């Protein structure tokens, strides 16, 4: 029975489905259908396992679902504990609710930071590949083009020019 995790994505670049197995970094399999990509991934894993056994390599254990209780014990400095408690009281919520709120906000901020970094890298790569010509950004129905001197037009950096305030 196959017990490894298979992740399936559509690849515009390859015009097919790509299956990866997280327990085997670098393994990817392709297929015109999801079923074909999964079948190819299973074949590739079998090959990896044969080679790992022959070479005496450690066989990765399958990822499994782990139940979480929703509870965790947290140690923090007394001063931080007191400050967080005061802020929770000001907001009229429990310390637990306040800490969950802070953790959730930070988690979302971290995800957005990652996405913005990826977007920045895509834009920079595009600029390098095109020499800055033909780069466009879209926002609220407006399209901005990067000038030949590698600067955004004034309208792109000054929303008042567009009538936005």
Which of left, alpha, beta for 163 (phi over 0: left; psi -120 to 50: alpha)?
left
- In this prediction, what percent of the chain has a pLDDT beyond 90? 61
Give the model confidence (pLDDT) of 70-105 as tens digits.
Answer: 888 989 999 999 999 999 999 999 999 999 999 999
Q: What is the pLDDT of residue 138?
A: 53
Domain ranges of the chain: 7-55, 76-129, 131-165
As a whole number of angstroms, the distance between CA 44 and CA 37 comes to 10
The confidence score (pLDDT) of residue 136 equals 55
pLDDT at 35: 97
Q: What is the CA radius of gyration of the chain?
A: 25
Rounded average pLDDT over 43-69: 92
Q: What element of type H or E holds 64?
A: none
Quote the pLDDT of residue 162.
Answer: 46
The pLDDT tens digits of the residues spanning 111-140 come to 999 998 888 888 887 777 766 555 555 555
pLDDT of residue 128: 76
At 156, the pLDDT band (50, 70, 90 cuts) reads very low
pLDDT at 118 (0 to 100): 86
Taking the model in full, what pTM does it have? 0.47
- Is the pLDDT at 158 greater than 50, yes or no? no
**Residue 165's pLDDT is what?**
44
Tokens 């979480």 -> residue: 68
């Amino acid at each position: 029975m196959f017990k490894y995790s298979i992740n399936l994505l559509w690849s515009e670049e390859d015009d097919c489905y790509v299956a990866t197995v997280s327990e085997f970094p670098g393994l990817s399999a392709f297929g015109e259908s999801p079923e074909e990509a999964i079948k190819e991934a299973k074949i590739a894993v079998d090959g990896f396992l044969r080679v790992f056994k022959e070479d005496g390599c450690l066989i990765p254990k399958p990822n499994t679902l782990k139940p979480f209780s929703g509870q965790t014990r947290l140690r923090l400095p007394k001063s931080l504990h007191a400050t967080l408690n005061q802020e929770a009281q000001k907001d009229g919520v429990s310390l637990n609710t306040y800490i969950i709120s802070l953790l959730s906000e930070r988690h979302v901020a971290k995800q957005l930071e990652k996405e913005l970094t990826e977007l920045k890298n895509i834009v920079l790569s595009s600029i390098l590949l095109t020499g800055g010509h033909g780069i466009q950004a879209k926002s609220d129905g407006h399209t901005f083009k990067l000038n030949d001197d590698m600067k955004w037009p004034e309208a792109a950096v000054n929303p008042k020019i567009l009538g936005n305030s």
